[in-house]
Amino acid sequence: MADRVLRLSDFSVRFATAAGSVPAATEVSLSVAAGECLGVVGESGAGKSQLFLGALGLLAANGRAAGRAQLQGRDLLGLPARELDAVRGRRVGMVFQDPMTSLTPHLRIGTQIAQVRMRHLGEPAAEARRRALELLRRVHVNDPEQRLLQYPHELSGGMRQRAMIAIALAGNPQLLIADEPTTALDVTVQAQILALLQELKRETGLALILISHDLGAVAGLADTVAVMRQGRLIECAPATELFASPRQAYTRALLEEARALAAPVPAQASGEAPVALEARALSVSYPVPAGGWGRRAALAALSEASLTLHAGESLGVVGESGSGKSTLARALLKLVPHTAGRVVWMGRDLDALSRARLRAQRRDLQIIFQDPLGSLDPRMRVAELVGEGLRVHEPSLSAAARRAAAQAMLARVGLEAGLMERYPHELSGGQGQRVGIARAMVLAPKLLVCDEPVSSLDVHSQAQVVELIAALKRETGLALLFVSHNLGIVQRLCERVLVLYLGRMMELAPAGALFAAPRHPYTRELLAAIPLPDPRLQPGRLSAVRAGEAPSPRDPPSGCVYRTRCPFAQAACAAARPAWEAASGQGAVACRRWREI
């Protein structure tokens, strides 16, 4: 154990609350060596993050840590604040789950990286700035000179996470702790971030701790995997051994759920049914600054999207961040205005409806948002949130009847009646998402739009929510539009899949055909980026990940918008936009070379 960079021995974390002392982690013993990655997995609330925050003295004011935490043999607990502050950033770097809330919004990226060098290494400002530029190059940020001058809100999610990694590396630490670094990132950016961490571990000899609920992410990086449940370490073993033959039933259940989500049985087609929803050449543009005083330009978020959704059918919409998935979903529901095209629901042109008639129509058109806590009114209790739609669309119902209907719907989505008096902040992520589902389903809609409903949930909660949505669809016969960057979940739920890139349709096909034989090169890239919960295969897949991100939608490439990343691009691909061509098996694709490749 002498070579251990970090060693926790019988380490515990507790929080003082009005109801008494609550344990977050209990007598956990773990260690990680230089050049090694320790993966720490478990459901939300398992104590993963609090364990390491406690070791670094970053707990909330009511938190207390006990036991031993040693960094290269030096005890961390009890260190004076000044000495502990010198350890953080210099000896230990940390990458947090949400870079947008971790980065300082009013400081440029270059300044935030340089500050670490100046404080912990004593470098002059000019030298620290030069090193900041090198670090941005090191983490594969494109156009690093420009990124150095930008603020966090001007970067994409993937670029913000790379900047966060650069800050964590700025003090030349011996240990890097990455706490859910890929949660809510799209599948290709997730693969790039994991490939970067793999490269850093291999080339720098960093000790790496990867905290994640994604077993596919852990499989590609971890040498050793620790499984936590309800604050306790229940299993710890080399990654290949744990994935091949887990000892604990809980670990086996996590692996089974992860494998089911990574390689699910395709959804069965619902058969021919009348068209419920139709989009005809739908386009959405937003005005954006174009330089100069008051000058504006149009940013095309969605361009000429045409699709149909049959009654009882499920259609998945996939693509990277910025591809137009959420814009399409909101435009179909008229939650954002479209600049061209039409939306037709059950034969009615929604644009032709008056405001009052459109509001009445919304009873049939419901949506579940990505962030349950962000979409639930924090001032309302669960019973009020679920019953609100009934109050609007069935005003004749009494308060008691609304409450009874809300309670019945909450029971259907697996929530106890005792939660009805809670506020959103008192719910877990999975509970909050179930409340969002109950709120949408209490009106018995004919169309349910799910906009990234499981991206921020742990794998166990993901599996539960996906199965719940599938069951509700089977029972009610509603049409489902499911927006996600998780292609495994889309395959499990959806009969057809639409692939978007920079607001344009790339491919549309039955799910089975698309996953078995994708026609568009972009679809192939998405499928290759799906993390596999298999430590024998996933490291090699990460090594093959290509760098680069989508161009800005402010200035999309000419012709085929994917050509700047496409390994099959030719000069002709820049000349004209590819036609939307019908393909065999009820599919269609926008690629000049799809027959050849």
- pLDDT at position 190, please? 85
Q: Which CATH class is domain 275-589?
A: alpha beta
- pLDDT at position 432, please? 86
- pLDDT at position 51, please? 95
- pLDDT at position 266, please? 56
CA-based R_g, the chain, Å:
25
Residues in the chain: 597
Helix (H, G, I), strand (E, B) or coil at 503: coil
In the chain, where are the structural domains located? 1-91+175-262, 99-172, 275-589
**CA–CA dist 411, 529 (Å, integer):** 37
Nearest-CA neighbor of 129 among 106, 141, 113?
113
Phi–psi pair at 330, nearest 5 degrees: -70, -35
* Tens place of pLDDT per residue across the chain (597 aa): 447 899 999 999 999 988 889 899 999 999 999 999 999 999 878 899 999 999 999 998 999 999 999 999 999 998 998 899 989 999 999 998 778 788 999 999 999 999 999 999 999 999 999 999 999 998 988 789 988 999 998 887 778 888 999 999 999 999 999 998 887 677 888 888 899 999 999 988 899 999 998 888 899 999 999 999 999 999 999 999 999 999 999 999 989 888 876 665 555 555 568 999 999 999 999 887 766 666 777 888 999 999 999 999 999 999 988 889 999 999 999 999 999 999 999 999 999 999 999 999 999 999 998 777 778 899 999 999 999 999 999 999 999 999 999 999 999 988 888 889 999 888 877 788 889 999 999 999 999 999 988 876 777 777 888 888 999 999 999 999 999 888 888 988 899 999 999 999 999 999 999 999 999 999 999 998 888 899 999 999 988 887 767 787 878 899 999 999 999 999 999 999 999 999 877 799 999 999 988
Nearest 10 degrees: Cα torsion 479, 587, 184, 174: 160
**CA–CA dist 111, 129 (Å, integer):** 7
Token pair for 175: 């240990």
**CA–CA dist 455, 439 (Å, integer):** 19
Q: What are the distances in angstroms from CA 66 to CA 29, 51, 590?
A: 12, 11, 59
- pLDDT at position 379, please? 92
**CA–CA dist 552, 547 (Å, integer):** 16
pLDDT digits (tens, 9 = 90+) for 268-325: 555 568 999 999 999 999 887 766 666 777 888 999 999 999 999 999 999 988 889 9
CATH topology match: 1-91+175-262 vs 275-589: yes
Long-range contacts at 374-378 (CB < 8 A, ≥ 24 apart): 375/436, 376/424, 376/432, 376/435, 376/436, 376/439, 377/424, 378/423, 378/424, 378/425
> Do residues 483 and 325 touch, judged by C-beta distance below 8 A?
yes
- pLDDT at position 399, please? 93
Residues 6 or more apart whose CB falls under 8 angstroms from that of 492 comprise 260, 261, 264, 265, 266, 267, 466, 470
- pLDDT at position 316, please? 96
Per the rule left: phi > 0, alpha: psi between -120 and 50, beta: everything else, 103 is beta
Helix (H, G, I), strand (E, B) or coil at 464: helix
Q: Name the CATH superfamily for 1-91+175-262.
A: P-loop containing nucleotide triphosphate hydrolases (3.40.50.300)
Give the angle subtended at the CA of 388 by the CAs of 383 and 392, to the nearest 5°: 155
Q: Write the DSSP string, 38-59.
A: EEEE--TTSSHHHHHHHHTT--
- pLDDT at position 159, please? 84
